[in-house]
Structure 1
């Protein structure tokens, strides 16, 4: 069983921005109105969920309530009925206690949030999210994170596992992905898995997800390029290319 719905459709997330600075691409912005319009175009193109890194006024990733509330509110207004998820990455606030305080102060809650299990404080962050009714995506990058998630007291509350591949050559993507997927399946054969890569591994990981019947994501967080190597004008163009792969 994967995250595919009862009609067998693959779940496609759009990952709007990531930790990239706005200078990397014209469609990256700290303006929530522009980001909402970009997200709406991506949803119209076929994305069914949104993953976003809320930004502060300077364009940096933020976990502060004022920023998270503002971004979630704007995306929910632009894309009504669409599930919205945010990051909880430790690079935004390395101090676990401060990260917990920030998340506890959110008032406009996302539908889900990703937690990287190789990061310090993953169990505490995930437990807080669950207590607030926010579903948890378990980000698994390596064996260390996988082992920590498998032993986690929040393990059984996980919405899905994100099998996340680094920027790596296309010829190692299958081996790396299938190894992590196999270990996740040994632990829990039925948990939904969303497979994605970044930079060089983004499109190889996406096409492998289609082949394996897994969920996936695409967007300017993971790659700025279309499959043919051209720079994508926006997230919607990346989603359209992904939908073409799915339909093929």
Structure 2
């Protein structure tokens, strides 16, 4: 397994979490850059970005994505792959395409199916929030075509096994070219249950073309999902977008702490961390 490198990604902020929940979440470009340095120093090779205004509000503006990306590049250069989020509720596809096509990150996340998207509180016996996350084939094609037109590689985020199957018609039409990058988002209410068996199930659904697959585990169940992915040959993502807590239940003081723990898990499982050059090659970027 040691010759099977792990692409370690960090989602540094997300769009929903706030500093009231976790003080380490970056808001300003300088804070994103400092977190990116911690990610790189601990072995991460990709950062997944949601933009924020300096006050912390979610943003889909070109100026905010540009400022954050420039600050990261000034801090770590090409030592990290930049991956932009495109998922949003109520934000027009045209708006999301603007920052993609203007700034041209190496990778753009592409959600592969519509779903009920919710957070449930067993203590309250009620939903904290609940929405319909629209990702029709029309939306998928618009974002995908926009990415392809400017040389951005898509990362296919799949919240259930049917989302993985949505790759099939796109491959048949010839609008996707391998190697694919497929991520299983597990632990969202409305999506697939976060179990090790379901990691294996999702991995078996990926089309039989050259590809990389990995796991994005949401909340504290993340660490067991990462262990399953590492044992099965997958890649992993951590970061304060997905989970605030280390395996012992203590809150992470930075994204770097989460990346360091994932890196240790990879090494303990007999895997090694991919270099950024290897990751670019495996993902079809080089």
- Structure 1 pair 70–180 and aligned structure 2 pair: CA distance change class (3 A): same
Shift of 1:245: 0.9
Q: Which residue, 100, 109, 113 being the options, matches 2:104?
A: 109
Question: Could you tell me how far apart the structure 2 residues matched to 1:192 and 1:241 are?
Answer: 22
User: Could you give the per-residue CA deviations for residues 22-67 of structure 1, whole angstroms, max 9, x where no partner exists?
Assistant: 3221111221101111110121011111112111244233222111
Question: Could you tell me how far apart the structure 1 residues matched to 2:141 and 2:182 are?
Answer: 15
Task: Kindly tell me the number of residue pairs found equivalent between the two proteins.
Answer: 237
Question: Could you tell me how far apart the structure 1 residues matched to 2:58 and 2:182 are?
Answer: 23
TM-score, normalising length from structure 1? 0.87
SS at match of 2:237: strand
**Which segments of 5 or more consecutive residues in structure 2 lack a partner in the other structure?**
114-134, 269-286
SS at match of 1:38: helix
Q: Which residue, 22, 26, 36 being the options, matches 2:33?
A: 36
Residue 233 (structure 1) aligned with residue 253 (structure 2): yes
Question: Could you tell me how far apart the structure 2 residues matched to 1:84 and 1:102 are?
Answer: 13
Instruction: Answer whether contact 1:113 1:137 (CA < 8 A) is retained.
Output: yes
1:175 aligned residue: 197
2:6 aligned residue: 10
Q: Which residue, 186, 201, 209 being the options, matches 1:165?
A: 186
Q: Going by fraction, where is helix more abundant, 1 or 2?
A: 1
SS at match of 1:224: coil
SS at match of 1:88: coil
Shift of 1:172: 5.0
2:219 aligned residue: 199
- Structure 1 pair 206–76 and aligned structure 2 pair: CA distance change class (3 A): same
**Which segments of 5 or more consecutive residues in structure 1 lack a partner in the other structure?**
none
- Structure 1 pair 80–7 and aligned structure 2 pair: CA distance change class (3 A): farther
Instruction: Answer whether contact 2:180 2:210 (CA < 8 A) is retained.
Output: no
2:149 aligned residue: 131
- Structure 1 pair 12–133 and aligned structure 2 pair: CA distance change class (3 A): same
SS at match of 1:199: coil
Instruction: Answer whether contact 1:174 1:208 (CA < 8 A) is retained.
Output: yes
TM-score, normalising length from structure 2? 0.76
Question: Could you tell me how far apart the structure 1 residues matched to 2:52 and 2:90 are?
Answer: 10
Question: Could you tell me how far apart the structure 2 residues matched to 1:127 and 1:211 are?
Answer: 34
Question: Could you tell me how far apart the structure 2 residues matched to 1:103 and 1:74 are?
Answer: 17
Shift of 1:206: 0.9
